[in-house]
Amino acid sequence: MEKMGNHWPCITCPIRNNRFCRSLLGASSQSDLTPRPRWQEFHRFPAGTTIISQDGSSDRIYVLCDGWAFRHLKLGTGRRQILNFLLSGDLFTSISVFYDKMHFSADALSDVRVSTFQRAAVMARLSNDSHLLSAARQICVDETLYAERLLSTLGQGTAEQRIAFLFLRIAEQLSRDNVITNHRYYFPLRLEHIADAVGLTTVHVSRVISSLRKRKVIDISQTHLTFLDPAMVERLASL
């Protein structure tokens, strides 16, 4: 992990897309020339490295500034379950706002920039700032709603439905930042990531995707995912 000074050029840092971070850093000052508070730090992680490793603890709250990452649980057998993918502006997990145990691992999928905040400083602000509090609650609610929908999908869905669900979820995350053009998304996931996220093998994911490709539902080529039939993707994803 490479730590960066407070004068790191943050012009493009999109964590202000996140209502929580916007409240935290002061809603009024949209200027990126404002000096960083002492309780905020920036870090950089190369693709493939570990940002947070399971079963540690930290007095800091992590937010992804830039790039792709994912959160996962390592299981005894060497397997892992990917819990979710993190995109720019995402808080790693809402419970980190008031809980110091890191029960999960987080890996960088691409080169990433991460912003961290001292938990104590954030908690102090939480009690005084009702906007910040409400933003934190909203993230917590959204995470729970998503977790329970994902649970239902893994419990009740076919391979095709699970994969469609994942793709749609990522599309929705990306659409927050308006990076959509013609239902075409930048998509750096390898089969391995899809497989570990939806509980299948890479081989089977490959087959399902080529079936979807043949049926003109989606297409994946050169790091981009295209929804050829967005309505069908939604139908599959909604069980």
Partner DNA sequence: CGGCAGTTTGATGTTACTCAATTTAAGTGG
Partner DNA sequence: CCACTTAAATTGAGTAACATCAAACTGCCG
- How many Cβ atoms are within 10 Å of 69's Cβ, its own excluded? 25
User: Is there binding between residue 103 and DNA (CB under 7 A)?
Assistant: no
> Binding to DNA by residue 200, rule CB under 7 A?
yes
Say whether residue 152 binds a second copy (CB under 8 A): yes
Examine residue 111 and tell whether it contacts a second copy (CB under 8 A): no
Q: Which of residues 153-182 bind DNA (CB under 7 A)?
A: 158-160
Size of the site for a second copy (CB under 8 A): 35
Calpha distance 176→153 (Å, rounded): 23
Q: Which strands make up the sheet holding 50-52, listed edge to edge?
A: 50-52, 105-108, 69-74, 80-86
Interaction of residue 150 with a second copy, rule CB under 8 A: yes
**What does each C-alpha distance from 25 to 13, 30, 52, 99, 190 come to in angstroms?**
13, 9, 23, 21, 35
Signed CA dihedral, 13, 4, 42, 196: sign only: positive
Q: Is 9 in the site for a second copy (CB under 8 A)?
A: no
Binding track, positions 204-233, relative to DNA; x by CB under 7 A: x-xxxxx---------x-x-----------
34 binds, among DNA, a second copy, none (CB under 5 to 8 A by kind): none
| Site residues (CB under 8 A) for a second copy, limited to 44-83 | 73, 75-77, 79-81, 83
Give the SS3 label for residue 74. strand
